[in-house]
Amino acid sequence: MLANVAEKRYAAEARFTNFYAGSDIVWTEDGEHFYCLNGDVVNKVNVQSSQIVASFGENASDDVDNKPKPKVADDDIDVDVDSINCFAMSSEHLVTAHRSGLLRLWELSTRKQVKLWKAQHKGPVIHLEFSPCGKIICSSGGADATLRLWDFKNNSCLCALKEFPGPAMLLRFHPNPTISEIYAVGSDNSIYAWNYSTKTLLHCMRGHISQVTGLSFQNTAADCTQIVTVGRDKVLIVWQLQDKSWSQLKVIPLFEELEGVEHIAAGALVLAACRNGKLLQLETSSWKIKELLASSDFEVTRLLNCNKAEQLTLVTSEQNMLVYAVSIDKKVASLQLVKQLVGFNDEILDMCFLGDNDRYLAIATNSKHFKLYDTEQQMNCSLISGHTDTVMSLAASHNLLLTVGKDCSIHLWKLNHEANCQLEHLMQQNNCHTATIGSVAFTHNGATGFASACQDGSMKVWQLTREKGERKSYAFSLRYAALAHDKEINCVSYALNNKILATASQDKTAKLWAADSQAMLGVLRGHTRGVWCVRFSPVDQIVLTSSSDCSLRIWSIANFSCLKRLEQECTILRCEFLDHGKFILSASSDGLLKLWNIKTNICVQSIDEHSDRVWSLAVSSSSNRCFYTGGADSKLIRFGDITDEVRNEAMAERQGMLEQEQTLQSLLHEQTQLEKAFMLALTLDKPKTTYEIICHFVRKRDTAGVHQLVDQLNVDQRLSLLHHVKAWGTNSRHALIANQVLKRLLGEALLDPAQKLYNNANLVETLTPYVQRHFKRVTELQKDLAFLEFIIKSM
């Protein structure tokens, strides 16, 4: 037992999954959590840790890791998931609108569904809003021009407002609970205002010629006289309440498509978010415009404000959240980026460690922006922009990072030690290859050069230089280029001594090259399909390759022969050496990770955490005790070495079993407390001992004692005793006692289905020896009767 435990063991320590898929997002008043819509669940996300702390929905999970519940199907019929179209939140409740047309009300404190009703709209509900008092819900349908207001505590629909061209893409209650007004933006880009108590239309505010994306009240007072609206017509309109009617006070052209607007500083300032990433400030006294944030590569879709935390958030089109701290001095706001959250990763294509003690983790996620995580600061993330197309591959050497991708450019970055989780862009070179650069690799033990591989089969080796005395002055120049393969190159890698370079290609081969020259040292032939990954051993003169032919191969560098072959069920996309070359970690297209012992060629562990292709592995070289994985299911998972914990648990379990065996032997020797001895024998799985204890009661003709032994057992103990009875049934000498115990075990379970404790498999396995024995006895008896009848007839 301990020999098996001595092998390596890894377990998932943390999972960083998608929690926001676009559409609705709400920030709590205290600024500590986001509520994000993600398919069929609404996730509650902690802003500081970026972790899901709770989920609401039919398929929401109650466990800590928030894994989705498996689909339950009756008679192998799949059950459709009732996805969520939109949601709204108050201080106590959450309401969700589902594709089926149902509205579900959830209690935030208990995460329980408290009400369920039909929305009564002709089409799907596309927008929900809570009133400031939290007692009324407004819903807008997708196919009918109707607003419905619900009093969920009294289970009634207060009214249906129909005097506007719907549906309403934007809903706002008056922020003061004493004012019974609701504002909705119609399909004609006009803002309609109703008094829902009297069900009368109060105002129709016309001015925008394109979709209205934001509406903000100056304050929450009952006599609020100013509203600001923005839209994609690139103008901001200030509305003034005069003579109980809203009129345009100002129309301010901002020359950018606008996605949100908020009042801050007690209504003294207005912030408007532009689609191209700009954030503009306007003073409500003079309406002067100031640019707080310049345009960026991030496309903004929403602007959220938290007055209590004095923070605002820009939500991007890639479902990322940029959280800024807002400080105001003399009516001038200043912003400081304090947190970046990744709501959706898409496919994780590549990752690598960099920094002291592998503190930072860089990740490419099928986007032109790559991400830098601080593993020591609750996975705080920075979104790094610079590429113009998808980043495909990353390579790091201590504080330096290389990024390549579909834009055929190579970018060189360096960690900024003056700020946490930040990179300095040192240089870039465009048009380095004629097609997508799919792989890049740094030299080891100091970055003196690197190699890049292209999808057109070419490989280039570069010399990296740094000017003396200049900390940020780097340059790289081409040493040589080679047409390495006939098809796409999937991977390039340096040996530990930097003298040999390896490439893996879709042409079913891997090749070894002299790093200092263009000379090819050898070709590794044997794979029957494309080779995805190639790695050098950190201690031995061997090379590891993985392929679409579902195999791992270990090759000798000396004669380029295949030394070992390890088989798997699916395409092996990535492989790495672990624990100083003693183990191999492989990742396949079915999401399965396998850990192999090189010495014994045995798979010592299979890890099933991903649900799709695993594209990338990152092994920490500093400790070699943890690694990260990422794939097409968008999951980023950290695994830790639990070998010592498993070994200690096994030794403790073994010690406990030895102590129990000693206790059992003492009880049997003293012939006291046989009930306790019987329980220990069941726990230790000793059929012979349990039989001897029951025999002791049978010899004393204590039938009641036998019945008491059986009746006091719980379900698990009854199943254990059933297995013991099956073992006794294999010997005819034990049949009598086995029959007595089996009769008591089954008892009423056979007569009353409600009290059935055993499945059919248990009963069949246990009763088979009895059926076979009695069938044999009856068969022999029939033979004897036939022989006797023959003798009688012959007389």
The span from the CA of 28 to the CA of 495, in Å, is 52
Per-residue confidence (pLDDT) for residue 23, from 0 to 100: 87
The predicted structure's pLDDT at residue 66: 42
248 in any annotated domain: no
Number of domains in the chain: 3
The residue type found at 520 is M
Burial 53-89 (b: 16+ CB within 10 A, else e): ebbbbbbbbeeeebebeeeeeeeeeeeebbbbbbbbb
Show the tokens assigned to 49: 């840790």
675, 618: one domain: no
Question: pLDDT of 361-397, one tens digit each?
Answer: 999 999 999 999 998 888 888 899 999 999 999 999 9
Mark whether 679 and 571 lie in a shared domain: no
Question: Which of 166, 188, 206 is the endpoint of a domain?
Answer: 206
The domain containing residue 202 runs over which residues? 19-206
- Report yes or no on 93 lying in a domain: yes
Q: What is the pLDDT of residues 15-62, one digit of tens each?
A: 888 899 888 999 999 999 999 999 899 999 999 888 899 999 887 765
507 by Cβ neighbours in 10 Å (0-12 / 13-18 / 19+) ranks as middle
Q: Please check the confidence at residue 771 and state whether its pLDDT lies above 80.
A: no
CATH number of the domain bearing residue 382: 2.130.10.10
Give the pLDDT band of residue 774 (cuts 50, 70, 90): low
Looking at the fold, whether 438 and 478 belong to one and the same domain comes out as yes
Q: Which amino acid is at 43?
A: N
**Residue 286 domain flag:** no
CA–CA dist 351, 358 (Å, integer)? 12
Distance CA 330, CA 219 (A): 19
List the alpha helices (DSSP H) in 57-191.
none
Q: Give the SS3 label for residue 651.
A: helix
**Is residue 784 a part of any domain in this protein?**
no
212 part of a folded domain:
no
Which domain-ending residue is among 185, 206, 227? 206
759 versus 208: the higher-pLDDT residue is 208
Q: What is the rounded distance in angstroms from the CA atom of residue 325 to the CA atom of residue 336? A: 5
Cβ neighbors of 336 (< 8 A, separation 6 or more) are 324, 325, 327
Q: Report yes or no on 328 lying in a domain.
A: no
Give pLDDT, residue 670.
74
Helix (H, G, I), strand (E, B) or coil at 376: coil
Task: Give pLDDT tens digits for 554-612.
Answer: 999 999 999 999 999 999 999 999 988 899 999 999 999 999 999 999 999 999 999 99
Instruction: Determine phi and psi for 716, rounding to 5 degrees.
Output: -65, -40
Residues 366, 387: Cα–Cα separation, whole Å: 12
The answer to whether 475 touches 462, Cβ cutoff 8 Å, is: no
Q: Are residues 365 and 414 in the same domain?
A: yes
Query: How many Å apart are CA 726 and CA 500, to the nearest integer?
Result: 63
Tell whether 252 is covered by a domain. no
Residues 390 and 534 in one domain: yes
Residue 345, pLDDT score: 86
**Tokens in use for 745?**
């075990």
Regarding whether 695 and 554 lie in a shared domain, the answer is no
Residues 571 and 705 in one domain: no
Q: How many CB atoms lie within 10 A of CB 535?
A: 20
Q: Is the pTM of this model over 0.85?
A: no
What phi and psi values does residue 81 have, to the nearest 5 degrees? -85, 130
The one-letter amino acid at 526: G
| Long-range CB pairs of 321-329, under 8 A, 24+ apart, other chains included | 321/20, 321/25, 321/34, 322/298, 322/383, 323/47, 326/264, 328/264, 328/265, 328/269
- 192 in the same domain as 74: yes
Does residue 759 share a domain with residue 632?
Answer: no
Q: What angle do CA 611, 614, 620 make, to 5 degrees?
A: 125
What does the pLDDT read at residue 575?
95
Whether 588 is covered by a domain: the verdict is yes
Strands 320-329, 311-316: pairing kind? antiparallel
User: Looking at 189, 206, 223, which one is the last position of a domain?
Assistant: 206
Omega before 175 within 30 of 0, i.e. cis:
no
Cα-Cα-Cα-Cα dihedral of 170, 175, 180, 183, to 10°? Answer: -20
